[in-house]
Chain A
Amino acid sequence: MASTPEPIVSAAAAPAPATKALSCPSCGGTLNLRAAGYTVTVACQYCGSILDVANPDVRLIAEYHQAAAEIEIPLGTRGTLRGVEWEVIGYVQRSEGGAYPWEEYLLFNPYHGYRWLISNGRGWSFGEMVTRAPTWQFGAVALDGQAYTSFFSDGRAQVDYVLGEFYWRVQVGEQVSTDDYVRPGFMLSREQNAQEVSWTLSQWLEPDEIKAAFGVEPPRNPWPPLPHQPSPYRGRIRTGFKLALGALLFLTLLTIFFGGGPTLYKTNLPVALDGRAHSTTLGPVTLSRPYQLVSIRARASQINNGWIDFDYALVNRSTQATYTAYGLAERYSGRDSEGPWTEGGGRATVKIAAVPAGTYDLVVDYTGNWWAGAASSSSYSSYSTYSTASPTFDVPGGATIEVSRGSVFISNFLLAALLILVPFLFFLWRHLKFESARKAESDTGGAGSMFNSDDDEDD
Chain B
Amino acid sequence: MLKVNCPNCGGENVFRSAGLPSRVCDYCQTILVRSGDSVEPVGKAATLPFDVSPIQVGTMGTFEGVRFTVLGRVRWGWTDGSWNEWLMLFDDGRDAWLGEAMGTYMLTRARPVEQVQSQAIEKLARGETVDVGTETVIDEEPFIVSDSRAATCIAAEGELPFSAPAGWTIHSIDFRSASGACASLQKEGDRVDFYQGRYVTLEELKPYYLRELEGWKAPSYG
Cβ < 8 Å to A, chain B residues 202-222: 202, 209-219
Q: Is A108 touching B103 in the complex (CB atoms < 8 A)? A: yes
With CB as the reference atom, state the residue of chain B lying closest to A133: B178
Interface assignment of B57: CB less than 8 Å from any CB of chain A: yes
Interface assignment of A99: CB less than 8 Å from any CB of chain B: no
Known: A35-B52, A196-B146. A114 touches B103 (CB 8 A): yes
Instruction: Tell me, rounded to whole Å, the shortest Cβ–Cβ distance linking A56 to chain B.
Output: 6
Residue from B52, B209, B212, B216 whose CB has the most chain A CB atoms within 10 Å: B52
Q: Is B54 touching A37 in the complex (CB atoms < 8 A)? A: no
Q: Is A167 touching B58 in the complex (CB atoms < 8 A)? A: no
**A135 contact set on B, CB distance < 8 A:** 178
Instruction: Tell me, rounded to whole Å, the shortest Cβ–Cβ distance linking A327 to chain B.
Output: 78
Q: Is B212 touching A196 in the complex (CB atoms < 8 A)? A: no
Q: Is B81 touching A167 in the complex (CB atoms < 8 A)? A: yes
Q: Per a CB cutoff under 8 Å, which of A8, A20, A40, A132 touches B50?
A: A20
How many angstroms between the C-alpha atoms of A110 and B212 in the bound complex?
A: 10
**A290 contact set on B, CB distance < 8 A:** none
Q: Per a CB cutoff under 8 Å, which of B91, B104, B214 touches A15?
A: B214
How many angstroms between the C-alpha atoms of A2 and B90 in the bound complex?
A: 8
**A167 contact set on B, CB distance < 8 A:** 81, 102-103
Indicate with 1 or 0, residue by residue over A89-120, a CB within 8 angstroms of chain B CB atoms. 00000000000000000001111111000000
Indicate with 1 or 0, residue by residue over A15-58, a CB within 8 angstroms of chain B CB atoms. 11111100000000000001111101000000000000011100
Known: A9-B209, A37-B82, A196-B147. A113 touches B102 (CB 8 A): yes
Q: Is A1 touching B103 in the complex (CB atoms < 8 A)? A: no
Indicate with 1 or 0, residue by residue over A382-412, a CB within 8 angstroms of chain B CB atoms. 0000000000000000000000000000000
Chain A: interface residue total (CB-CB under 8 A): 45
Q: Is A4 touching B103 in the complex (CB atoms < 8 A)? A: no
Interface assignment of B176: CB less than 8 Å from any CB of chain A: yes
Q: Is B102 touching A15 in the complex (CB atoms < 8 A)? A: no
**B215 contact set on A, CB distance < 8 A:** 18
Instruction: Tell me, rounded to whole Å, the shortest Cβ–Cβ distance linking A336 to chain B.
Output: 84
**B217 contact set on A, CB distance < 8 A:** 85
How many angstroms between the C-alpha atoms of A14 and B54 in the bound complex?
A: 14
Tally the A-B contacts, defined by beta carbons under 8 Å: 126
Known: A7-B60, A18-B52, A37-B53. A111 touches B69 (CB 8 A): no
With CB as the reference atom, state the residue of chain A lying closest to B132: A195
Interface assignment of A131: CB less than 8 Å from any CB of chain B: yes
Tier of interface size on chain B:
35 or more
**A54 contact set on B, CB distance < 8 A:** 77, 79-82
With CB as the reference atom, state the residue of chain B lying closest to A11: B209
Cβ < 8 Å to A, chain B residues 182-211: 199, 202, 209-211
How many angstroms between the C-alpha atoms of A55 and B155 in the bound complex?
A: 13
Q: Is the interface of B mostly helix, strand, loop or mixed?
A: loop
Interface assignment of A71: CB less than 8 Å from any CB of chain B: no
Q: Is B54 touching A110 in the complex (CB atoms < 8 A)? A: yes
How many angstroms between the C-alpha atoms of A70 and B176 in the bound complex?
A: 40
Interface assignment of B35: CB less than 8 Å from any CB of chain A: no
How many angstroms between the C-alpha atoms of A208 and B80 in the bound complex?
A: 38
Interface assignment of A284: CB less than 8 Å from any CB of chain B: no
How many angstroms between the C-alpha atoms of A7 and B209 in the bound complex?
A: 8
**A133 contact set on B, CB distance < 8 A:** 144, 176-178
How many angstroms between the C-alpha atoms of A308 and B78 in the bound complex?
A: 107
Interface assignment of B11: CB less than 8 Å from any CB of chain A: no
Interface assignment of B7: CB less than 8 Å from any CB of chain A: no
Q: Per a CB cutoff under 8 Å, which of B53, B82, B146, B177 touches A110?
A: B53
Instruction: Tell me, rounded to whole Å, the shortest Cβ–Cβ distance linking A76 to chain B.
Output: 11
Interface assignment of A371: CB less than 8 Å from any CB of chain B: no
Q: Per a CB cutoff under 8 Å, which of B93, B180, B211 touches A131?
A: B180
**B53 contact set on A, CB distance < 8 A:** 37, 110
Q: Is A15 touching B212 in the complex (CB atoms < 8 A)? A: yes
Apart from A9-B59, A36-B51, A132-B179, 20 more pairs, CB < 8 Å: A2-B92, A5-B16, A7-B209, A17-B213, A18-B213, A36-B50, A38-B103, A54-B81, A54-B82, A108-B103, A109-B216, A110-B213, A112-B103, A112-B219, A113-B103, A133-B144, A167-B81, A168-B81, A195-B132, A196-B132
The 10 closest A-B pairs by CB, nearest first: A37-B51, A113-B103, A8-B58, A9-B58, A1-B93, A15-B212, A131-B199, A133-B178, A132-B180, A18-B213
11 residue pairs of the A-B complex, CB under 8 angstroms, read A9-B59, A17-B214, A34-B52, A38-B52, A56-B49, A109-B216, A129-B104, A134-B178, A167-B81, A167-B103, A195-B132
